[in-house]
Structure 1
């Protein structure tokens, strides 16, 4: 049975402009990082992706290495695009990235022009697309001149293979420099994708989010639930069937230390008082910042997606609630910061 999008799909979703660009994203975007690889069958994938689009989630975020195995998320999304989403391509924002290891040898990762442009061609082939809407440098490469990395992004735009470009997990100084270089090439840095949550505030601590606001760069937060920690599912040490037991997981023992879980318990009380789930409160908190364009979620089930989308019913946080969250999470910060080898990607 051919998918037909809901006529009411734009009735409830909210959209925000990405920085000073003309691009608008839904406040909740769907990422295909760890749950749409080789172990996901087509019907269950389409159930989630179709429902998301029916609710106004127009942005689907991928990367060359998403799976497992690497590349399989893009392949699956390519099948969905060919079989069900093709009529709606112009209503969708599809993003991908390159930066992490994809193939053997010296040209299979990091930030060289050789790697980035070859990877983009591979991604387009896997997804069956002529272009992506956003192409990211997935991580800063300390050994390649930033002019070369940004030059590759600029080429992707000027060749028509990407409409917009962005950076992911770049610290403040490198964010400013990337923006400057791209601007000189006549290309905007449209968006930055960092990790960000109420227990992972590195973009506040090193002023990356302030730099984005100043420069007109949109921000889309990945891991707003801190790899599921802020869903509360680890509070009793139960990781069965979750990322804690998955050998491919990037969740670490340090992310579920007692001090972190104690903070999560306190946040749960605040959520309860607001009539929200912890997931919804965590998303409300990320989206409270004026610089924030969207929160990027990852889900395994349709019920999880519905829970996440419930944030639309109550996005506003009072100053008192923000202060209470600050106090509750003060002792539970993960104290993460991007490193060249990458964080959680």
Structure 2
């Protein structure tokens, strides 16, 4: 069966030999409702997770992103289990590229080396293609962290190094230090979408382009706002957890400011026969060329289908610029 993977143009992840689909599957929602971070999402069943992963990989995604803090390894374990099942079924999509992250809170760089075997075990012994420092706030220096990560590459434990939530200064320093080990910083995973564009104002995007570092955009739909569903039916806001409402811009003022953008997304969606969320994702992965890739999550199979459908068309340059202008207008109000 022909899949989107045969049609999607893969792109290099940073200056590595990893070729990835513009969208990968974010796996935060596989945390089994465990831990502070995991409780952000409802608990999905094994069958839910299997079908979400199956649809995502069969549909064209060739990489997944998870983390130690997502349920204390439970997201990694859930992912490994469904990949095992796909392998048993003989699926040709049972071996995606895997990105995961080390959690630095109240830890030193020594923990990077000490816990890597646990990460690999949670992933069922699979190779870690991209290992990322999840946040820039460990008890050690960036130099110590990058030394530890370089050691893991040399030991064959991981293939490439990335970071997450690093400022332009921190990202540039990490890149400089890795170069002394003959390595390059492949990626910086940050929040980025049409309603959250701070990396374009603080120098992070420009530096990433200059250094050949990929931006991995998380929360690419601003927790669902860019799908338009909350504007279409505001009563749905009541079903969103309080913490998500506080962080996502679901208050009345923010919703009013973002409405022109949602209207623009909806208009383009009608033209292409897609959804507003798919238009928002398409803008994200094309506006800056190949620099930005994104990791939308999916807590339902239909979300997975919508995600892969966002790679099946391409906005024109004029349409990309229109969304750029309407987006900045909404953010400046």
Instruction: Compute the TM-score of the two structures, normalised by the length of structure 1.
Output: 0.83
Distance 1:30 1:254 in 2: 20
Decide whether aligned partners of structure 1 residues 327 and 54 sit closer, same or farther in structure 2, where only a CA change above 3 A counts: closer
Distance 2:162 2:227 in 1: 28
Contact map agreement 1:15 1:27 (CA 8 A) in 2: yes
CA-CA distance at 1:124 after TM superposition: 1.1
Per the alignment, in what secondary structure is the counterpart of residue 285 of structure 1? Answer: helix
Decide whether aligned partners of structure 1 residues 177 and 278 sit closer, same or farther in structure 2, where only a CA change above 3 A counts: same
2:154 aligned with 1:167: no
Residue of structure 2 equivalent to 1:273: 267
Residue of structure 2 equivalent to 1:118: 114
Q: Which of 4, 19, 22 is matched with 1:24 structurally?
A: 19
Superposed, 1:237-248 pairs within 5 Å as: 237-241=235-239, 244-245=240-241
Contact map agreement 2:279 2:310 (CA 8 A) in 1: yes
Give a deviation string over 1:235-282, Cα, whole Å, max 9, x none: 3152354xx326xx5552562233321243212221232224221121
Distance 2:235 2:331 in 1: 16
Distance 1:219 1:228 in 2: 20
Per the alignment, in what secondary structure is the counterpart of residue 50 of structure 1? Answer: helix
Distance 2:315 2:4 in 1: 22
Residue of structure 2 equivalent to 1:78: 80
Give a deviation string over 1:123-181, Cα, whole Å, max 9, x none: 11111124211100111127521110111111111111111110111111111110000
Contact map agreement 1:117 1:156 (CA 8 A) in 2: yes
Q: In the comparison of the two structures, how many residue pairs are matched?
A: 315
2:150 aligned with 1:150: no
Distance 1:292 1:36 in 2: 28
Residue of structure 2 equivalent to 1:46: 50
Per the alignment, in what secondary structure is the counterpart of residue 311 of structure 2? Answer: helix
Distance 1:282 1:171 in 2: 24
Per the alignment, in what secondary structure is the counterpart of residue 212 of structure 1? Answer: helix
Residue of structure 2 equivalent to 1:341: none
Distance 1:158 1:251 in 2: 43
More helix by share: 2
Distance 2:244 2:117 in 1: 27
Judge which range, 278-287 or 114-123, deviates more: 114-123
Residue of structure 1 equivalent to 2:317: 318
Decide whether aligned partners of structure 1 residues 9 and 307 sit closer, same or farther in structure 2, where only a CA change above 3 A counts: closer
Residue of structure 1 equivalent to 2:295: 296
Distance 1:309 1:130 in 2: 24
Distance 1:150 1:182 in 2: 6
Distance 1:254 1:62 in 2: 21
Distance 1:231 1:208 in 2: 26
Instruction: Compute the TM-score of the two structures, normalised by the length of structure 2.
Output: 0.86
Decide whether aligned partners of structure 1 residues 135 and 43 sit closer, same or farther in structure 2, where only a CA change above 3 A counts: same
Residue of structure 1 equivalent to 2:210: 214
CA-CA distance at 1:214 after TM superposition: 0.6
Residue of structure 1 equivalent to 2:307: 308
Per the alignment, in what secondary structure is the counterpart of residue 28 of structure 2? Answer: coil
Distance 1:178 1:250 in 2: 31
Distance 1:65 1:52 in 2: 22
Contact map agreement 2:15 2:184 (CA 8 A) in 1: no
Q: Which of 254, 257, 282 is matched with 1:260 structurally?
A: 254
Per the alignment, in what secondary structure is the counterpart of residue 221 of structure 1? Answer: strand
Unpaired runs of at least 5, structure 1: 1-5, 335-345
Per the alignment, in what secondary structure is the counterpart of residue 294 of structure 1? Answer: strand
Contact map agreement 1:99 1:137 (CA 8 A) in 2: yes
